[in-house]
Structure 1
Amino acid sequence: MKRMNRKKIREILNKNKEEVEILVMGWVRTRRDSKGGFSFLEINDGSCFKNLQVIVDHNIDSFELNSGKLHTGSCARVIGKLVQSPGKGQSVELQAKIVEVYGEADPDHYPLQKKHHSFEFLREIAHLRPRTNTFGAVMRVRNRLSYSIHNFFQERGFLYLHTPIITTNDCEGAGEMFQVTTLNSDSLRGIDGEVDYSQDFFGEKTGLTVSGQLEGEV
C-alpha cells in the first residue's frame, strides 16, 4: 500500500478543489445515519473551526468493521474522494472509501455532545474543553496576540527570556509568595516552631516568583 500524506481540513476547505484520493484524520464531532444506507460524519482535526462532512456508504468493508466505534469523540482516519457537495453548509465533502477508528469514545460516558455546555461543566473536563468552539476561539485569539507582540519586539532587537518561575527572592517585597515545597510543614516543625528546609527538595524556602524584573535587569 502506498504511503499517503495527511491533509489538514483547513487546507482542504481553503482550496475548495475536488481530489481523487485524500487522507484526513481527526475527531468525530457528529454522526447521523440515514435510511438510505449512508452515514454522515462531521470530522474536525483542530486546524480550523469548520468540520469536514464525510459520507460513508454502509456497504464498504471498513464501515462494517468500525460502525460500532464511530461515535462522537472517537478518533478516525478516512481515505476517500473529495467532491463538490450538493448540500447546504459545505462546499466540498469526502466520499469515504476506507474508515478506521484509532481511538474509541464511549457514547455513554464521553461528555462533549452536540449541545450547549456551561463553563462550570467545562471546568470539570479541562483535558477535553480545547475541543469546544469557545475555547478554540479563545486559544486562537491568544495565539495571534502572543505572536504579534513577540514579532513586534523581535523586529526591534529585543530578546525573549524565560525567567525563573520558582525562586527564593521576594521581588521588592511585593507581598506574600505562594510557597513551593515537598514537605508537610506542620509535621516537620521543630520545638522552636521553625521548619528545617534543608530536608526540602530545594534545600531552602522557595516560592513562585511574582516578577521577572531581577533577571531582566541583570
Structure 2
Amino acid sequence: MTFSIVARCPRTKQVGIAAVTAVPAVGKLLTWAYPRTGAIATQAWINPYLGHDGITKLREGLDAKQALDAVVLQDPDRDIRQVGIVDGQGNVAGWTGSKTSKWAGHITGPGYCVQGNLLVGHEPLHAMRDAFEADDGAPLAERLLTAIEAGEATGGDRRGANSATVYVIDTEVYPLWDLRVDDHKHPLKEVRRLYHVFEELVVPHIVRLPKRDDPHGQPEPQALA
C-alpha cells in the first residue's frame, strides 16, 4: 500500500522520512523521528508501536539493526509488517515480512533505506535510490521529495496515489519540515507546491523559533511590534 524512504543527511545530521500511499493520511502513523537519533517508517499492515518503540530503542543507544531486531522480535505479526530505520550515525536497516503484499521489498544504501509493498515491481525502489543518491548536496527535504517523485514516476503503488508526506527533524523535537497531503488526486504535485511555500514562508520562521539550548530563539522584528 505504500512506498517510502528514511534517510540521514551526513552534512546537517537531519533525519527524515517521505512516503506515498493509495489511502488517506500516510503521514499520520508511518513517520517517526527524533533529533540526532534516527527516523523510522512503519508500513504494510501498520503497527505504530514499531515506530514508537523503535525510536525508544534508538534513544537508548541501540543502532538501526539492533533496534529493528528488537521491535520486530516482539511483534507476533511481523510477517505482515514493513519497516525502514536510519539511526543518528547513518546506519540503516530494513524489514519486509514474508506475507506483505507483492511486490514488496526494501533496499539499503549509505544513510538511507527505501521500502515498498503493493508496488508494480522493484522499479520504484531503484528509481528512489538513484534519485536520492543523485544530489547529495541538496537539502534533505528536497532529496526525500525527489526520491518519492521518482518512485511515483516509475509506477509506484499499483493502486495509484492518494496521500503523501515529507517529514524532517533537525536539532529540535519539533519538525523542520512537515508536509502532508491527506486526500488528493495528485498528492505529490500538491506536496511539491507546498514544498515551495514552506521553503519561502515557513521554514525560515521555524529556524528562528526557541530551541532547547536557546529558549529565546530569534524573534522576528514584526513579532515584537
What is the TM-score normalised by the length of structure 1? Answer: 0.29
Structure that is richer in helix per residue: 2
Larger radius of gyration: 1
What is the TM-score normalised by the length of structure 2? Answer: 0.28
